[in-house]
Structure 1
Amino acid sequence: TTVSTRSGPEFQSALEALTEMMALSHDEKGEFLLRYGDFFRTAANAMAEHGLALITTVFVDGAPAARVLSFECGGVSYLYNSGYDPRFANVGAGLISKAYVLRDAIERGLHTFDFLRGDEDYKRHLGGLAKPVITATFRQH
């Protein structure tokens, strides 16, 4: 079973639950949240205010097993971040949640699914293609 939310109190609750799962699922995500948690929440809330954010929760045996935050704009779904409950690692809850979000985007007619930067294995398993990421710095003189 899955539940998706885009705004309101349900979004706030799902966002807090997502950050908890992120911290539980990977040490580096916990460190990311310590350093950038305020930015993460502010960005997610700003996107939600404009109807661009989506948090999807995947349930296993009635319990929340994984959550995915994606942003959608112009027919493109951008998988921004995710987390899973380690108790459900044995059933692949993290991978299943991403596969569900990908399938849902296709079924809703979005034309592009962007896994964003990073070379995590699941991206290749789900058909992602590597694209160069370009960094540019602009300075005003």
Structure 2
Amino acid sequence: MTEQEILSEKEQTSIEDFGITRYAELLNQDVFTGFTDLFITPQYYFLGFYNLSYFLVNKSTHKGVRYEYPLQTDKISYLPLINIRAVSPQGFLVGFEEAYKLKQWKINTETQNDNLRKVQAVVQKISAEDNPCLFFYRLK
């Protein structure tokens, strides 16, 4: 269920070019445009929306939570889900980030997040021109 307007089936079938421009127009009109990604882990359904937001549905409780993807890189205190593109056979969500973007992260010096500290150590050793870094997430 959504509080946003949903296009009728007739309106949906009349759209001939459903590219990013049309998507943006509908977003600006506060129309629910659906999800662009669906990944299934052992515990969750991951419903993504153009790398802008995602919705996690717990399979056992049937409850979901919406999260925003955009990352404020000026003071990172936790390791966010980034560019999720797949699920591994072991049930990990797989994401990636370009090396030059990781080099721009400003990690909060007071963070106690061990995973973020590990990423920080790796980022210090890579070059901005290196290949993208893969992230494997196991959701709790």
TM-score normalised by length of structure 2: 0.27
Structure ID, larger Rg: 2
Which has the bigger relative contact order, CA under 8 A and spacing at least 6?
A: 1
